[in-house]
Amino acid sequence: MLFRISLLFALFFTFSDASPLQEAIDNAEAGSIIRLDPGVYKGRLTINKPIKIEGKSKGVIIDGEGEGTVITIRSSYVTLKNLTITNSGARHENLDAAISIADAKQCEISDNAITDCLFGIDMQMVNNSIIRNNTITSKGYDLGLRGDGLRLWYSNDNLVQKNSLIRSRDMVVWYSHGNRIEENFGEHNRYSLHFMYAGKNYVHNNKYQYNSVGIFFMYSQDTIATGNVIKSSLGATGMGIGLKDVSNFTIKDNTILYNAQGIYIDRSPFEPDTHNYIENNRILYNAEALHFHSLSENNVLKDNTLLGNIEDIVNDSRGSKTDDNDFEGNYWDSYAGFDRDGDNIGDTPHRVYQYADKLWLYNPEVKFFYGSPVISLLNFLAKLAPFSEPVFLLEDAKPRLREKG
């Protein structure tokens, strides 16, 4: 259970350099509050007892002076609030960060601004803690050389809420379970949210834009992603939501638009006799709405809206068995049929085939010409008079004629 710690008494300090601040931390009794006046305080602080450090107002700056981690926490029940934490070291092998927390529980990091730090908040074996309303940016390096804005490693049952990660690298959730990740914002990152070997997480109402990938789930299970908006993932392979080797997932009520690939599905579900449920999502104006790679069957795709996409379904692997997934009640703007009884269900099933013009799926060099007049003409001719047997991809037996209101 997440809760705020009860503090015993308060100490009030104003400092002009680092040594008195570290000394004050060392001398304070467990449960103390240290409130700081605006000013610059030398960083590379170590906190090894329950304590709260809070800025009285804006302008409280903890400066790491370009070396190491600015604040290291090795205790439970620590709170950092209303601080600007800046100028960490730049050593990836040392995970130089604004804040490093390890082997702790029931900490709170809230209302802070993190700037010019290689890694933002690094959490290792941290449980039942709150990370809320922080703004995090990395150093001004190329994308792959930045550190991660927020890292959860073997960290469970945390609340990560209303944080902004801008021009960082990734937010990663690895080997971490039961976390609630909601109302966060990510922009100009690589992976705004990346899961690996993680389960029972809840991903809700986040907004991610102008990243290479919005949300990518790998080797994970039992997770719900709902109400998220992922748009404008950058590059020829920019991805909204990716599923690789994941099982028992629910992807519901998300809006995915203006990406190269809307939802990417690779060997998912992975565990036998499990399903993934992809329901009531709005998949709009992507180059590819649904991209299937490798063997992917037993997904349930129901009540989704596919509108304005160049390709509704892409199958880049001849063995992926796209038709072994359950499609029902989706709205396809490419559906060619009628609704004579007015029940909003097409009178005939919606079937999707892969024609000979899809050579670019297996030869990336051909994709250079994708969208050109020549390929468009080939596409038209292949559908008008196929010169080879098309590959059947899927059938939606009950396609909707109108979007859900």
Give the DSSP per-residue string, 147-167: PPSEEEES--S-EEES-EEES
CATH numbers and ranges of domains, the chain: 1-171+181-189 (2.160.20.10), 191-355+390-405 (no CATH)
Q: For residues 334-342, give the mean pLDDT.
A: 90
**Does residue 8 carry a pLDDT above 70?**
no
d(CA 289, CA 259): 9
Burial class (CB in 10 A: 0-12, 13-18, 19+), 169: buried
Q: For residues 104-130, give the mean pLDDT.
A: 98
Structure confidence by residue, pLDDT tens digits, 118-168: 999 999 999 999 999 999 999 999 999 999 999 999 999 999 999 999 999
**Which pLDDT score is estimated for 305?**
97
Angular region, 182: left φ>0, alpha ψ -120 to 50, beta rest = beta
Structure confidence by residue, pLDDT tens digits, 41-92: 999 999 999 999 999 999 999 999 999 999 999 999 999 999 999 999 999 9
Instruction: Answer yes or no: are the C-beta atoms of 201 and 179 closer than 8 Å.
Output: yes
Angular region, 312: left φ>0, alpha ψ -120 to 50, beta rest = alpha
d(CA 79, CA 3): 12
Instruction: Answer yes or no: are the C-beta atoms of 241 and 251 closer than 8 Å.
Output: yes
| DSSP 8-state code for residue 188 | S
**Does residue 356 carry a pLDDT above 70?**
no
| DSSP 8-state code for residue 254 | -
**Which pLDDT score is estimated for 358?**
58
3-state percent helix, strand, coil for the chain, nearest multiple of 5: 10, 45, 45
Of 162-166, 259-263, 270-274, 387-391, where does mean pLDDT reach its minimum? 387-391
* C-alpha to C-alpha distances, 287 to 229, 261, 354, nearest whole angstrom: 17, 6, 16
**Does residue 10 carry a pLDDT above 70?**
no
* C-alpha to C-alpha distances, 29 to 37, 123, 359, 382, nearest whole angstrom: 20, 25, 70, 78
Q: What is the pTM of this model?
A: 0.88
| CA-atom Rg of the chain in angstroms | 25
**Which pLDDT score is estimated for 12?**
43
Average pLDDT over all residues of the chain: 89
Structure confidence by residue, pLDDT tens digits, 266-322: 999 999 999 999 999 999 999 999 999 888 889 999 999 999 998 899 888 766 678
